[in-house]
Amino acid sequence: MTVINNQKIEHLKTDKTKVKRAPKRGHYDTRTIYKILDNDFICQIGFVYNGYPVVIPTIYGRKNDCLYFHGASVSRLLVTMEEGVPISLNVTQTDGIVLARSAFHHSLNYHSVTVFGHAELVTDEKERLDALKVVSDQIIPTRWEEARLPNKKELKATKVLKLKITEASAKIRTGPPKDEKDDYDLEIWAGVIPIEKKYGKPIADPDLKSGIPIANSAIKLIKD
């Protein structure tokens, strides 16, 4: 562990998380990993169910070294994770299409994180409610304070699980295409087409009562 600007930086490299292909793109420090995780809210979780592999997308929220997930109590994903099966989680942000001079060297610029581990059920009621707020804030900060909070019936129908981040790696590609030396003389355009995430103008619920202004959380999200 190292400390940079009073921030503790853990290193999560293991045989399991080591990047095999293009190892120079691998990063194992929590500062890099957490930054990528915090920039999104949808992940893909892979696990083995009844003997066959399954990958299911779900939303998440991060607090410190834990990722939280929630869903219906009967959710196959959550019920299976509660059993303690090993899981693999991935989050990928695609930043650009990399067009090389040769089709072989076309690529993508991206930031991705893969996490390995075992999730556990959150049973403490205070932590459960806090976890639901963490997930909400991951998607749209301060919306939790604007909305009606879950009631007892809704909480009973909801499972919350957490995954401690102990084995993880990030893989990042940036920059221009990398062609063969001889191909740089070809009369073919090469470069990067950036991909940007953008929020559009909020669309009001058609059943919204008249006179209700756009939520501050939505205004801040589209401005940011």
Report the pLDDT value the prediction gives residue 108, as an integer from 0 to 100: 97
Q: What are the angstrom distances between the C-alpha of 119 and each of 136, 195, 201?
A: 19, 32, 37
Report the pLDDT value the prediction gives residue 223, as an integer from 0 to 100: 86
Phi-psi domain of 142 (left: phi exceeds 0; alpha: psi -120 through 50; beta: other): left
Contact criterion met (CB below 8 Å) for 14 and 167:
yes
Domains and their CATH numbers in the chain: 2-93+110-175 (2.30.110.10)
Report the pLDDT value the prediction gives residue 3, as an integer from 0 to 100: 47
pTM: 0.90
Q: From first to last of its 224 residues, what are the pLDDT tens digits of the chain?
A: 554 544 567 788 888 888 888 889 889 999 999 999 999 999 999 999 999 999 999 999 999 999 999 999 999 999 999 999 999 999 999 999 999 999 999 999 999 999 999 999 999 999 999 999 999 999 999 999 999 999 999 999 999 999 999 999 999 999 999 999 999 999 999 999 999 999 999 999 999 999 999 999 999 999 87
Q: What are the angstrom distances between the C-alpha of 114 and each of 11, 73, 92, 168, 223?
A: 14, 26, 9, 6, 30
CA-angle at 90, arms to 122 and 160, nearest 5°? 15
**Displacement of CA 157 from its chain's centroid (Å):** 24
Tokens 């301060």 belong to residue:
142
Report the pLDDT value the prediction gives residue 2, as an integer from 0 to 100: 53
